[in-house]
């Protein structure tokens, strides 16, 4: 679909260091960049991640009802799959929940040990429990992977100025679906993003599952999100 293609091209066109004021030199773009953590041939891995994201969105284009907005991609999750809150483990263990067909792995270690991300595991277990995976869309306020000075195997909280750059991709994402989505903020960064962006209604706040938030995330997902599917 043209909306999905336009959205992915928007993501692909953003490179680290191209944010106003030079605020984000340490950002990895999963849909454009590759490095030594990618499988060979490395230059083909961003295209595989773009294909993964396209298949994920197209599976939900007419069925999606809710959107869970998180903070930013992690170095074990979206960085390798191209899909927010989704690691390679989900592509291997729960392929039927992610898309209509199996998606591609892109990490150098994928054959021996697919990348695993704890928050992704928690979220997908709740999506599986709810039983309507194609009615849930996952995304991040800052869609690219921000890392610290310690290297690309780290995560850092995106700066407020960086999060503001997530508004245009978020608007483009919403255009990919045939119906209006209820948007839930997963964590304070996402909640603050929706407030600062303006023009978007937050259907509810949910605790992020990381850093001890797993139990409360599960409780709130079952109470706030699952009944709307």
Q: For residue range 136-165, what is the model confidence (pLDDT) as tens digits?
A: 999 999 999 999 888 889 999 998 988 999
In this model, does residue 127 exceed pLDDT 50?
yes
CATH assignment of the domain containing 81 = 3.40.470.10
Q: State the total domains in the chain.
A: 1
Q: What is the pTM of this model?
A: 0.95
Is the pLDDT at 22 greater than 50, yes or no? no
Per-residue model confidence as pLDDT tens digits over 36-85:
999 999 999 999 999 999 999 999 999 999 999 999 999 999 999 999 99
The whole-angstrom separation of Cα 85 and Cα 70 is 8
Structural domain harbouring 153: 2-228
- At 172, give phi and psi (nearest 5°): -65, -35
Residue 169: CB partners within 8 Å, gap ≥ 6?
7, 10, 11, 143
What are the CA-CA distances from residue 170 to residues 139, 150, 165, 176, 206 (Å)?
8, 29, 9, 10, 19
Q: Is the pLDDT of residue 226 over 60?
A: yes
């Amino acid at each position: 679909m043209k909306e999905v293609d336009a959205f992915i091209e928007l993501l692909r066109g953003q490179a680290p260091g191209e944010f106003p004021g030079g605020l984000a030199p340490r950002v990895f773009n999963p849909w454009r960049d590759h490095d030594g953590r990618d499988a060979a041939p490395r230059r083909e891995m961003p295209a595989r991640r773009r294909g993964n994201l396209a298949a994920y969105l197209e599976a939900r284009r007419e069925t999606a009802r809710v959107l869970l907005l998180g903070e930013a991609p992690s170095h074990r999750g979206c960085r390798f799959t191209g899909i927010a809150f989704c690691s390679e483990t989900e592509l291997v263990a729960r392929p039927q929940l992610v898309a209509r067909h199996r998606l591609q792995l892109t990490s150098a270690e994928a054959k021996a040990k697919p990348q695993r991300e704890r928050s992704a595991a928690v979220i997908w277990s709740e999506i599986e429990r709810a039983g309507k995976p194609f009615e849930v869309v996952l995304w991040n306020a800052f869609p690219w992977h921000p890392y610290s000075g310690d290297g690309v195997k780290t995560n850092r909280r995106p700066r407020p100025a960086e999060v503001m750059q997530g508004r245009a991709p978020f608007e483009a994402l919403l255009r990919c679906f045939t119906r209006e989505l209820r948007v839930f903020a997963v964590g304070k960064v996402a909640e603050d993003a929706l407030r600062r962006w303006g023009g978007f209604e937050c259907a509810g706040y949910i605790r992020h599952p990381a850093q001890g938030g797993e139990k409360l995330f599960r409780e709130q997902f079952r109470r706030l999100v699952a009944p709307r599917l």
